[in-house]
A = this chain, B = another copy of it.
Amino acid sequence: MIPRYSRERMAAIWSPENRFRIWFEIEAHACDALADLGVIPVAAARALWEKGNKPYTKERIARIDAIEAEVRHDVIAFLTELAEHVGDNARFVHQGMTSSDVLDTCLAVQLTQAADLLLEDIEGLLAAFKARALEHKMTVCMGRSHGIHAEPVTLGLKFAGFHAEFHRARTRLLAARRDIATCAISGAVGTFANIDPRVEAHVARALGLEPEPLSTQVIPRDRHAAFFSTLAVIASSIERVAVEIRHLQRTEVGEAEEAFAKGQKGSSAMPHKRNPVLTENLTGLARMVRAYALPALENVALWHERDISHSAVERMIGPDATVTLDFALARLTNVIANLVVHPKAIERNIALTGGLMFSQRVLLALTQAGVSREDAYRLVQRNAMAVWDQGGTLLERLKADPDVTARLPAATLEPLFDLSVHTRHVDTIFDRVFAAS
């Protein structure tokens, strides 16, 4: 997480202000429940809200840091500073709880906040894909397999495919959000020995979480592993879109292009450059989000009821993965919304290969005309290879091949070279994709 690739809202989730605020709420809600249960005085719970419920200013944060430098324990430092505001009643705070109750529940809140922003980002991206898909629903362009011209598709289909992919991303992220949205207030090693499970139930409800069925002081880390792995899958989908655009912008292809801002410079040395730098950047950011899943997976096997090796990892990947993915989703949305399409280049590329894209149609017509699959393939292939190597069009060459015309005379061949068959099911596909969304 570096400022260059951060957006304010997501970064704020990981600020000390937000973290300490959540810690405070956990403690205060827990005190409410403890007071209800008669474990601590009602006045103590009330005092906590009255005297402690104030913003975590820079001064307060600095004070907490100073205490931590001595006690080497962040939650104790937090509680000590809180006591300075709350006074004597502070001794009722955190009763029967352990630091992990605060830390893990806080992380759950932060990750759900982050997930909500990411879901919003995905909504925006889906809207951008949908708009461009509808705009270019029937913009016929060359489809490519292996980077080689195959048969025509439409530009709208590309966007629709991305829409479908990010719709799946949304479904997976919702599941991942559910996975990490649990609350643990179960005390040391998770036995509720000194805290009633009803406290957990109350805090969970207050924070919009589910109680963790079985915590062992910590919330089990398979949940977080699933969460960060899901982010890694989404990042990989971002990379897929980015790579598509980088390909379309290649000089020789030129079918689409990232918007180039007024005043922007593509290269310090070569003033003619207009580079797909945003999607290249997204490719790199995707690599990072993917990498962050690994330590999350290695965090699962904590020792016995818990060790704290996961903590350093999560202090880093919590912000790093969510901030980077948020930035990447927003950047991708901008790229898609502002992508410049070059219809002339699209047409030029379609015309590039002398109708080779219709080779399958001829193959099928030959087999329908009684030629074996093997022979039909050989007949079409030899004419197609000649087009690749010496130019001309496939139709001309087929017409000049007596082995072909013996089965398919020119009048039968010509109608096979018809772009419209490639778009006849676009509506069907769009219905499938956008009905679901």
Contact = CB atoms under 8 A, between A and B. Distances in A.
Contacts of A312: 5, 281, 284-285, 288
Contacts of A428: 192, 197
Interface centre among A374, A381, A394 (most CB of B within 10 A): A381
Task: Give chain A's interface residue range (CB within 8 Å of chain B).
Answer: 35 or more
Contacts of A249: 147-148
Interface stretch (A107-115, A116-124, A261-269): A261-269
Given A98-B268, A214-B161, A360-B188, A300 B237 contact: yes
A83 interface: yes
Given A214-B161, A312-B5, A307 B146 contact: yes
B287 A381 contact: no
A353 B309 CA distance: 24
Contacts of A301: 236, 239-240, 242-243, 283, 286
Interface string A344-366: 00000100110011011111100
Interface in A36-76: 70-73, 75-76
A363 B94 CA distance: 12
A31 interface: no
Contact of A189 (B5, B145, B189, B213): B145
A211 B293 CA distance: 30
Contact of A287 (B147, B153, B236, B295): B295
14 contacts: A96-B269, A142-B251, A150-B189, A150-B217, A153-B216, A157-B214, A169-B222, A193-B360, A194-B269, A213-B429, A213-B432, A229-B233, A251-B352, A287-B313
